[in-house]
Structure 1
Amino acid sequence: ENNERFVLIQRTLKGAGVRVPFMPRANLTLGYFLLEDLGDTTFSLALEQNDVDALYTEALDTLAVIRAIGTVESELPHYDQKELQRELDVCPEWFFSKALGLPLDSNALSIFAELSACVIDAAHQQPQGLVHRDYHSRNLMVTAGDSLLAVIDFQDAIMGPVTYDPVSLLKDVYVVWPREKQLVWLEYYWGRLVREGQLDESSWPQFIVWFDLIGLQRHVKILGVFSRLWLRDDKPSYMRDIPVVINYIREACLLYRGSQPAIGGFWDWFEDSVMPTVERQDWYSVS
């Protein structure tokens, strides 16, 4: 693990007023950290007993604070073309080939390359800022007697596109909301960035497109990541969430297949050549 990076991000977030685990002791050489125990109430558990809109508003307000941090830009890697492609390539290796046993011919590889170019271009069109990278319901904590949501699992933070973290939160694999609800919360976040001068008032339609296309990148990546967790790390429970991931991919593809030929071509291939094999898997069930 990159211990220096963990400490850097913890101190940076704390300095910006973001609630993170208190770290009274750290030994970078040995890789030992003494960290505060934030309890067991994750954001996803808190949603069952609290005002949902208030919790998402707070989570997005916290995200806006993180996004505005610019002091670590020179010290963190960036979501460049190479990194985005590396993430996408986990899918054909671990999901298509190893989990499903599907051969990928030159046509399939060409279709995947065109999709990759499309979503990577969308990522690079966006304003860039600090990205948590896994800002979802299991990495936010609600602590007793604390007015702020606590943020954990931030060690992989990177400089990247403005919509990446909102996708992680609003198109969460573990807590699913209708698109109408997603867009209400997304507009709240966009409005805050507009008021802070980070986005233009006319950018809302484009912001939605960025949100959906970076979501497509993230969920294609997750197909591979969850398959790798199953096959390499013996964590099969992640495969139970694959139907949710595929639903997000389906939704984005159907929204943009008419305006983005690369997305249309990918979905046609996925539906015809991948889904029949997916639907035969023991781990695939749609409630």
Structure 2
Amino acid sequence: MDGEISLFLKDEAATSRLGEDLALALKIGDCLALSGDLGAGKSSLARAFIRAVADDDGLDVPSPTFTLVQSYDLPIPVSHFDLYRLGDSSELDELGLDDALDIGICLVEWPEMAGGELPKERIDLRLDNEGSGRRATITAPPAQTARIRRVLKIRSFLDEHGYHDAGRRFLTGDASLRAYESIYPEDGSRRLILMDWPRQPEGPAVLDGKPYPKVAHLAEDAYPFVAISNVLRGSGLAAPAIYDVDYENGILLIEDLGTEGVLDTEGLPIRERYLASVACLAHLHSLAMPRDIEVTPAHIHHIPDFDRTAMKMEARLLLDWYLPWKRGVAATEAERQEYLAIWDGLIDELEGSEKNLLLRDVHSPNIIWRPEETGIRRVGIIDFQDAMIGPTSYDLAALVQDARVTINRDLFEELMADYLSLRREQGEFNETEFLKSWAIMSAQRNCKLAGLWVRLKQRDGKPGYLKHMSRTLIYLQVAFEHEALAPLREWCAGAGIAASES
């Protein structure tokens, strides 16, 4: 075992709180072995853990003392073992410990009764009485220890900022390394959102000695998020207020804009909400935005350009990931050179396009519907840390060709027409140049996404994103309808990339 964590738990509530925190740290395949004398708090911790995973404080969690195991069909399945009455360690096979670990998390009380049958890569947590409270001692392998230390660091952050004993629940993760928690203050006030965004070590160099995030100008810390949020809010748009930030550790406590999205209960786009989102973009694109934003007295955020290098790096994902996955062989050197030369030509075509702040991912997962508000403030925007200065058409392409939901042709045409009408009403607007820019940015984004879905599966172990592939390729064909995209359309046809592929 590597790494030891020692915590003093002053009372039963602190024991339960540790169980809740551990529910945010453990993953499928983890085995938490709970040891300690009778009455040490093992069952209390296990009960709090299970209720946190279930997000149900009233869930009945009986002790499995006589049944030996109680299983819970939760978002992550949990099996609660109590081995106090286990006759022989060989009986663990009959109880299905290995099968339970394949699909979920196992909590094991009285692990000493299992002999050597528990996984070696387990988390050991011992509870011992200490004065009026308890001492929790946790030992685990490095990966699990790191996860546990992270959730405890977030707990310390909440304590430091006045949110003692706040309830925590997992909210969501995304395709990046960010994760989000719901924070429920003990006084019952409105829920807050916590963004968990730990700094990452630099990855391998991909171009000119730089790792991918630096080449593509992706945000690597919280400063850009805070900067852009402040600018958007100052421009009358609905972005979350920032309450507290730990820039060094990547922990942000922000406003909860609500829970409603822009999709109906069947996952289909709601016309009114997409039209309002289009109006929000039209307003944003008409504004003059600063390039340098003071975040703290010691830090100025300079909004980077969505430049040629970044555009080509993203478009290369189709070459580097999609094509080898689809064909079983990598692109030839001739194919690569021709593809990249086509993109050089397309980027040259953007020279005269309108450029302003683009948020990068304006689509359904990142839009909150706020029915109590009016006008553009009905649209809450929550993901913009990678904002750049570039062709404004990129954000419109992201919205009207939502990567995660099918926008049918009729709605697509209506959204495009509405945006163009709003921009014409604002004054000077080169519609012809904008539509060419839109087609190029649509193609660039969808080439990126086609490769990204494969990379998420093969490199990051997230195969679920492949369900969006067919839609992405259909959207790419829509971009190809513009005459400026003829070279790329022909290259894709020659490479065997068609809208019917999945």
Give TM-score, length-normalised by structure 1. Answer: 0.84
RMSD of aligned alpha carbons = 2.6
Distance in 2 between residues matched to 1:134 and 1:92, nearest whole Å: 22
1:165/1:47 Cα in 2 relative to 1: closer, same or farther (>3 Å)? farther
For residues 7-156 of structure 1, what are the structure 2 equivalents within 5 Å?
Answer: 7-45=226-264, 52=271, 54-74=272-292, 75-98=302-325, 100-143=327-370, 145-147=372-374, 148-156=378-386
1:132/1:50 Cα in 2 relative to 1: closer, same or farther (>3 Å)? closer
Is 1:158 the counterpart of 2:376? The answer is no
SS of aligned partner of 1:125: coil
Deviation at 1:23?
1.9
Give per-residue Cα distances to partners, 1:60-79, cap 9 Å, x unaligned: 12112322343332420011
In the alignment, which of 418, 428, 436 is matched to residue 209 of structure 1? 436
1:73/1:156 Cα in 2 relative to 1: closer, same or farther (>3 Å)? same
Give per-residue Cα distances to partners, 1:233-257, cap 9 Å, x unaligned: 111010011011111123333x24x
Is 1:167 the counterpart of 2:397? The answer is yes
Instruction: Check conservation: 2:453, 2:466, Cα contact below 8 A.
Output: yes
Distance in 2 between residues matched to 1:58 and 1:244, nearest whole Å: 23
SS of aligned partner of 2:350: helix
1:46/1:19 Cα in 2 relative to 1: closer, same or farther (>3 Å)? farther
Unaligned runs of 5+ in 1: none
Deviation at 1:180?
4.1
Distance in 2 between residues matched to 1:21 and 1:259, nearest whole Å: 38
Give per-residue Cα distances to partners, 1:210-268, cap 9 Å, x unaligned: 22221011100111111111111111010011011111123333x24x66541243132
Give the match for residue 413 of structure 2: 183
Instruction: Check conservation: 2:320, 2:330, Cα contact below 8 A.
Output: no
Distance in 2 between residues matched to 1:136 and 1:94, nearest whole Å: 23
1:47/1:212 Cα in 2 relative to 1: closer, same or farther (>3 Å)? farther
Distance in 2 between residues matched to 1:160 and 1:227, nearest whole Å: 26
Give TM-score, length-normalised by structure 2. Answer: 0.50
Is 1:267 the counterpart of 2:486? The answer is no
Number of residue pairs matched? Answer: 271
Report the residue type matching 1:20 in the other structure.
A
Give per-residue Cα distances to partners, 1:108-167, cap 9 Å, x unaligned: 113312331243234333110000100011110113533311101111111110211110
Percent identity over the alignment is: 23
Instruction: Check conservation: 2:367, 2:380, Cα contact below 8 A.
Output: yes
Unaligned runs of 5+ in 2: 1-219, 293-301
Higher relative contact order (CA 8 A, sep 6+): 1
Distance in 1 between residues matched to 2:367 and 2:437, nearest whole Å: 24
Structure number with bigger Rg: 2
In terms of fraction of residues, the more strand-rich structure is: 2
Report the residue type matching 1:38 in the other structure.
L
Deviation at 1:173?
2.0
